Chain A
């Protein structure tokens, strides 16, 4: 039996680099996850050469990543749609047939969210320091609430399509990865991935927490490219005269590539676990259970 998983996330949340690093990690001999069919897109050599992957421009269909984990056959419906498509889905009730099929067939979801997202201007909160509200002009912050709503709307629509009761505790495995966690640690923020999600998307956080059965929801912080990520470049934009910092970062990144990626848990948000597969293997174990 094949278990389909779906990876979703907004533009610029780092899905592509996450997947490339997973593909790299799963190609190592020691990997508990075995790739039985890997899409060519994931075999890009860029990462191995010390470059990051550029923004995904195109949508491509029917690309499947077949994996085996502890005797379980897993198929990840590759999400190499551009992130804008996720936002479009979240903002409409009219979904394309291919998305309806994806949603109906998926048995688990990986949601990628950027930890770099600023805290929302919590419009439903009684004002504390919201003195700027004395101005009657709408600001960019106004979009934040709608943004939070879009995620809720997406999942409500998903419940409807998958015929999941809106009032039951959901047992559809969901792992939320808060990407770019290296930035959180660099800023020395005392915060867990779960707390970060709560501060960035409070309404969505409440929605997820209330709706999901706790055994089927997990939240991690991840840094697929590790601590050098900020100094790395897309190949096509690599400077002719890179700075010393960029050169060093690339060199160190390539030199010990397999230990670059790390994950943090909510219990120990500062402790880097050099196992990028952790959120995914958690999901693999939940799927079909």
Chain B
């Protein structure tokens, strides 16, 4: 199946099939549009690295999932939760709000001394991490460490980390969304749309939403990242959360916060959006974090990343070795045999 997507953030053509009826805001025919790109999800034209970034094949069993190096499908997260619920956190935000940079910073933070005593203990998605970091480094454009745009995929898929905090282990699954699906619902609040369906799925599956707002964006005159559009984004997101996952925890992340300092005259806009966000999500909000633009502050350790990771983990019970009796109670019948096979390793 050939899918097509439009690079222009305001265009509704996102991962659509060529059925001859594709809309184009520019009024172009589909073939003439200069922004259109093919997203060929089933071709073999991808490089090896790109293939590795894809999730595992459909016929995977628990063993290959648990020792896999590639992205984890949502339905396979259960294998990490045979004894304890794993933590699931999903990064969401408008395009270029720093979601993917935040992910790579998380990985980096786990290798550094940090206030939250978090350490990297392993990952079942090593290749996916490697490819994510490679894409970050060698992305288009001249600025170092500026990630490539995250491509929206039909299925949700997650990166995995095993994190040690204060000598206790936690499984954390991290979802990275494509910003374009959120700009899609700002432009067109159609509950039948592909973007709406994608967001609904991400929001429904997660336990913690890491909502990123680019602190430097509110002041620009670009209609797509204006204060008003940020507020529309907040409104639409609040509606989806209320409908599909009202108990989800939310961490509000003000990304590129260092750039606020350079825009004192517009600080009020920043404050207005932030206040609006906090008012809208006060019931679900478990933390607020500010991260700097690592592109701008090269060499400076990313701030608050360990705090964000810790907030993701507090929603998860500890991974502890239970008594056999306790385990038997917790384990669902359908996975008993799997657990039997994996119990020493888990």
Does B bind A?
yes
- Report A's interface with B, CB cutoff 8 A: 93, 123-128, 130-131, 133-134, 136-138, 142, 145-146, 149, 152-153, 156-157, 159-160, 163-169, 202-203, 206-207, 209-211
- B130 located at the interface, meaning its Cβ lies under 8 Å from any Cβ of chain A in the complex: yes
How far is the CB of B147 from the nearest CB of chain A, in Å?
12
CA distance A145 to B64 in the complex (A): 23
Q: Which of B104, B110, B138, B345 contacts A159 (CB 8 A)?
A: B345
How far is the CB of A136 from the nearest CB of chain B, in Å?
6
Q: B10 to chain A: which residues have CB within 8 Å?
A: none
**Can you show 18 pairs from A to B with CB atoms below 8 A apart?**
A123-B137, A124-B111, A125-B108, A126-B145, A126-B301, A128-B298, A131-B144, A133-B145, A134-B143, A142-B134, A145-B133, A152-B126, A156-B126, A166-B345, A167-B319, A169-B167, A207-B122, A210-B119
Q: Which of B277-308 contact A (CB under 8 A)?
A: 294, 297-302
Give chain B's interface residue range (CB within 8 Å of chain A): 35 or more
Whether A149 contacts B130 in the complex (CB less than 8 A), given A163-B344, A165-B346, A206-B110, comes out as: yes
Q: Which of A123, A125, A157 contacts B134 (CB 8 A)?
A: A123
- Report B's interface with A, CB cutoff 8 A: 63-64, 66-69, 104-105, 107-108, 110-111, 119-124, 126-127, 129-130, 133-134, 136-140, 142-145, 162, 164, 167, 169, 294, 297-302, 319, 321, 344-346
Interface of B is mostly: loop
CA distance A253 to B98 in the complex (A): 58
Whether A133 contacts B345 in the complex (CB less than 8 A), given A206-B120, A210-B119, A210-B121, comes out as: no
Q: Which of A125, A131, A166 contacts B122 (CB 8 A)?
A: A166
How far is the CB of A210 from the nearest CB of chain B, in Å?
4
Q: Does B67 contact A157, Cβ atoms closer than 8 Å?
A: yes
Q: Which of A124, A164, A165 contacts B107 (CB 8 A)?
A: A124
Q: Does B300 contact A126, Cβ atoms closer than 8 Å?
A: yes
Q: Does A165 contact B321, Cβ atoms closer than 8 Å?
A: yes
How far is the CB of A95 from the nearest CB of chain B, in Å?
11
Q: Which of A127, A142, A210 contacts B299 (CB 8 A)?
A: A127
Whether A167 contacts B162 in the complex (CB less than 8 A), given A126-B145, A156-B122, A206-B110, comes out as: yes
Q: Does A152 contact B122, Cβ atoms closer than 8 Å?
A: yes
CA distance A142 to B300 in the complex (A): 22
Q: Does B126 contact A126, Cβ atoms closer than 8 Å?
A: no
Q: A153 to chain B: which residues have CB within 8 Å?
A: 69, 126
Q: A202 to chain B: which residues have CB within 8 Å?
A: 111
Q: B319 to chain A: which residues have CB within 8 Å?
A: 167
Q: Does A124 contact B144, Cβ atoms closer than 8 Å?
A: no
Pick the 3 closest A-B CB pairs, nearest first: A167-B169, A163-B344, A133-B144
Q: B110 to chain A: which residues have CB within 8 Å?
A: 206
Q: B143 to chain A: which residues have CB within 8 Å?
A: 134
CA distance A36 to B217 in the complex (A): 73
